[in-house]
Each structure stands twice: as C-alpha cells, then as structure tokens.
Amino acid sequence: MNSTIINPVRHGLLMAVAALIFGALWAAYMGTHHEQLHGAFETQVATIQPTDKQHPMEEMSMKSMQMDHAHHSTLPTAHEHGQTHHETDTQVNEEQHSHSGNLAQDAMQRLLRGHIHFMGIGVLSAVLLLITAFTSLKNGWKKTLGFTFGLGALLYPPAWILMGFRTVELGPQAAEASVMWLFGPAVALLLISLLAVFVVLLVETFSLQKAVFIRQFFHSETGASS
C-alpha cells in the first residue's frame, strides 16, 4: 500500500491514537486509584449533605427574626410554613439529585465513561479517517476532516472526566451544565465529521462526483492531488 495515501489524514490518525493512549492511561489510573477516588467522593458527599440540611433551618431562623420586627404582621399559617419548608427541600433535592441514588457512584461512573469514550471515539475516528483517505475527496478536505475527527476525539472524553470530578460538589445536572463549553464544540466536530463522511460515501456510491455543485470537492481523476 502506498503510504502517501494516508498523508492528508495522518495528523488526524495521530490524534485518534493519542486518544487511545489517553484512554488506556486513564483506565490504568482509575484501576490503581479506585478506592482513593471513591473515598474522596464519599467524603465530599458526607460533607455536603449536613450543610444542605442546615439550609431550611437557617431560612426558618431568618423568617423568625423578620417576624419579630414586624409588629403588625400576621403569623404564617401552618400550611404556608410547611409549603416554604417543602419548597426549600425540593430545591436542595433538585440540585443534588442522583441518577443512581449515590452521588459518589454517579461521579465514578462519569469518570469511567471518560475512558470508554476515549477508546470508542479514538477507534471510530481512526477507522473513518482511513476510509476517507481512500476516497476521491480532495486532499484539502481530507486534512480538514483529520482535524475535526482528531479534535473531537481528544475533546469529548475529557468533558466526562471533568464532569465526574464536579458531580458531587455541584450536583449531576449543574456539573453537566458546567462543561457544556467543552461538550458542545466536541459533539459538533464529531457530528459534522460523521455527516461529511456519510455524504462522501453516498456521492461515490452513486458516482455523483461530476455534478456541478459537487465536483469542486472531488478529484477529477482518482489519485490526483489537489
């Protein structure tokens, strides 16, 4: 096989392989530090939960002080008092809602997904870039796909790892929202790359390379360089 065929996507392949290496290293780290990580998350949970339980009492105390200074105000009914307490508990529960029933377990699962996505997206990117290298797409577009696939493979998995470390402190939903700045671009890069490869294969399957609006993206002859 002529090694020059993969030259336009070589940088993307390097990034895909780097993602596989990072995934393997992260799996090794989690395997050797599992107890330390889980213990640290459990400690965070134990620290946060008593603090959350104090919030309703602090609000009740503040309301009591306000009522003491309001001489002509009427006392809240038992229903209103219960409703306030319920709303506060609901807000705390929403902030710290756990998908598995244990915030520490949620955090560990998200760290593990970082490894899974490193390996899965790394392999997927490498395979699709090799397929792209053998198409008649112009080299400039192949290089572009090399960057989009490679960057997507390197950016998406760390978002899960960062989200895992923030899960206990912020809660699952807030932790997810806090990494959308990284999730968004990574997902966009990967989706655009996948769609582009699909369109290229579709065009070549039906021999549409010579169509007016398509031929500018493809070589007129197989093996020509751009």
Percent of the chain with pLDDT over 90: 67
Task: Note whether residue 141 is domain-resident.
Answer: yes
What whole-number distance in Å separates Cα of residue 139 and Cα of residue 7? 9
Quote the domain boundaries for residue 197. 7-217
Task: Note whether residue 223 is domain-resident.
Answer: no
Task: Note whether residue 97 is domain-resident.
Answer: yes
Give the single-character DSSP code of 35: H
What rounded mean pLDDT belongs to the chain?
Answer: 84
Task: Note whether residue 211 is domain-resident.
Answer: yes
Task: Note whether residue 106 is domain-resident.
Answer: yes
- pLDDT of residue 67 exceeding 80, the answer is no
Task: Note whether residue 225 is domain-resident.
Answer: no
User: Tokens in use for 201?
Assistant: 């294969």
Give the model's pLDDT for residue 212. 86
pTM metric for this prediction: 0.78
Who has greater pLDDT, 89 or 18?
18
What whole-number distance in Å separates Cα of residue 154 and Cα of residue 211? 35
| Share in percent of the chain as helix, strand, coil (round to 5) | 80, 0, 20
Task: Note whether residue 19 is domain-resident.
Answer: yes
- Give the count of domains, the chain: 1
Task: Note whether residue 1 is domain-resident.
Answer: no
User: Tokens in use for 166?
Assistant: 């923030």
Give the model's pLDDT for residue 220. 75
